[in-house]
Amino acid sequence: MSIETTNSSAGEVKPEFWRWQENCWADESKDWRSAKVITVGIDVGSVSSQCVIVADGELYAYNSMRTGNNSPDSAANAFKGVELKTGLTLDDVHMVVGTGYGRVNVPFSHKAITEIACHARGANYMGGNSVRTILDMGGQDCKAIHCDDKGKVTNFLMNDKCAAGTGRGMEVISDLMQIPIAEIGARSFDVEEEPDAVSSICVVFAKSEALGLLKAGWSKNKVVAAYCQAMAERVVSLLERIGVEEGFFITGGIAKNPGVVKRIEKILGIQAVSTKIDSQIAGALGAALFAQTLVQKQGPCKPVALAA
Amino acid sequence: MIANYGYKDGSGEYYISIDTDKCISCEAGRACLTACPKGMFESMVDDYDDEVVCIKAEFRRNLAYDCAGCKPSTGRAALPCMTACTPAAIKHSW
């Protein structure tokens, strides 16, 4: 894969190993013009922002990109991506629901709903109504959620005090090891024997511990294996607090990292439900589905214009 | 719904759990709002349009310190929030 670069102040080109693939998709087999109800979900997270279009209750298009330096622009840019891809404008949309850390700063949304409720609703769509336990490994927090067969939350907890067990923690290790973030999972299995976990409490400690292990002669693959194990142990301890039921589903960027997912499955002794849909859009998808239900109950909302 | 507010860090797990099913039809007149000496509880409408109590956002990452006044290491009395909550919707993990 190609590694994007930035120019440092000294003018040298610096590869960005942490940079994950942004993604814009639309279902070519459908035409939004024939849909009766079109709703939008915008998830402005601390690291990534997503816009999802739902047409008559079905996923139609999405855009997933890195969050910029302010929430309103990130929300607008996420929408502009799908607007460009599909030709759909806000005038064609019946309701917009914002979610995520920046949900109250989505200028064109009609309602804000917490990411906990939206992830549960999105996971229910992506993994089916047998999903009961959801682990959302977000950019700067981690959530464990229980839901019922309709995707309604029955129990949740969130840890946003510490970056251990989050996507940002993985980005830090990716940059430190100079391994593209998309390759970390596969490389963590390329070891002769599974190492013990590094610190699972703090990314700063994990980073210094990882440097120490490299100096002690460990291979990069073995160090990332130890970090993936630490991350798995960390999130499993959160999950154990609310209990894990069959119908286990993982959302968020880390769900794309088999190095963490397989280790979580091994510790828990259960397989995560798989999906072909991008795990990062679960929150925005849930928001769009909430909007769909609200339009059916209350009728469509007047469109709010995008800022120039 | 069981809503867990708090965190886990290197020193332990600090969560206050609120059973919103018991909280919705509060028989104690939301006494927890005034019982907490730090004023950590507030009323809100949740994502399913139910009026429930939650922990204020500014306290959620400091529970170990903010609750310390009610949790002396010796001679600990019943917690004011749990005592006020007669439906027993509030629990502390530590």
pLDDT given for residue A232 in this prediction: 94
* Domain assignment of residue A303, yes or no: no
How many structural domains comprise chain B?
1
Based on the fold, state whether residues A149 and A256 are members of the same structural domain.
yes
Residue A262 CB partners (closer than 8 Å, separation 6+): A189
Residue range A69-122, pLDDT digits in tens:
899 999 999 999 999 999 999 999 999 999 999 999 999 999 999 999 999 999
Mean pLDDT of A160-189: 90
> In angstroms, what separates the C-alpha of B2 from chain A's closest C-alpha?
4
Q: pLDDT at position A190, please? A: 96
- pLDDT, tens digit (0-9, with 9 covering 90-100), for B29-56: 999 999 999 999 999 999 999 999 999 9
Tell me whether residue A188 is in a domain: yes
Instruction: Answer whether A156 sits within 8 Å of B4, measured CB to CB.
Output: yes
Whether the predicted pLDDT of A10 surpasses 80: no
Statement to judge: residues A20 and A70 lie in one domain: yes
Same-domain check for residues A100 and A166 = no
How much is the pLDDT for B71? 92
- Mark whether A124 and A194 lie in a shared domain: no
Q: Does the residue A307 lie in any domain?
A: no
Quote the minimal CA–CA distance from A11 to chain B in Å. 40
Mark whether A112 and A168 lie in a shared domain.
no
Residue A189 carries which DSSP code?
T
Confidence of residue A8 (pLDDT cuts 50, 70, 90): low
> What is the extent of the structural domain holding A76?
5-128+281-298
Domain that holds residue B87: 2-92
Contacts of A209 in chain B (CB under 8 A): none
Per-residue pLDDT at A4 exceeds 80 = no
User: B15 and A241: CB-CB below 8 Å?
Assistant: yes
| Rounded average pLDDT over B84-92 | 96
Domain co-membership, A169 together with A76 = no
Domain count of chain A?
2
The mean pLDDT value of chain A amounts to: 92
Averaged pLDDT, A23-35? 95
Do A249 and A147 touch, CB atoms closer than 8 A? Answer: no
pLDDT exceeds 90 at position A162: no
**Contact residues on chain A for B10, CB-CB shorter than 8 A:** 201-202
A171 and A202 share one domain: yes
Question: B-side interface with A, Cβ within 8 Å?
Answer: 1-4, 6-10, 13, 15, 47-48, 61, 93
Amino acid A214 reads L
pLDDT at A182 over 70: yes
Does residue B6 register a pLDDT over 90?
Answer: yes
Contacts of A28 (CB under 8 A, 6+ apart): none
What CATH number does residue A70 fall under? 3.30.420.40
Pair (A85, A173) in one structural domain: no
User: Do A67 and A48 share a structural domain?
Assistant: yes
B interface mutation test: which of A99, A152, A157, A158 has the most B CBs within 10 A?
A: A157
Compute the nearest-CA separation of A9 from chain B (Å): 36
Q: Each residue of A114-149: pLDDT tens digit?
A: 999 999 999 999 999 999 999 999 888 899 999 999
pLDDT tens, residue by residue, A282-296: 999 999 999 999 999
Question: What is the reported pLDDT for A168?
Answer: 87
Same-domain pairing of A108 and A139: no
| A234 and A107 within one domain | no
Domain membership of residue A308 (yes or no) is no
DSSP A307: P
Q: A119: Cβ–Cβ under 8 A, 6 or more apart, which residues?
A: A134, A136, A143, A145, A251, A282, A283, A286
**Percent of chain A at pLDDT above 90?**
76
Task: Kindly determine whether residue A161 and residue B9, on different chains, have CB atoms separated by under 8 Å.
Answer: yes
In a shared domain, residues A139 and A268? yes
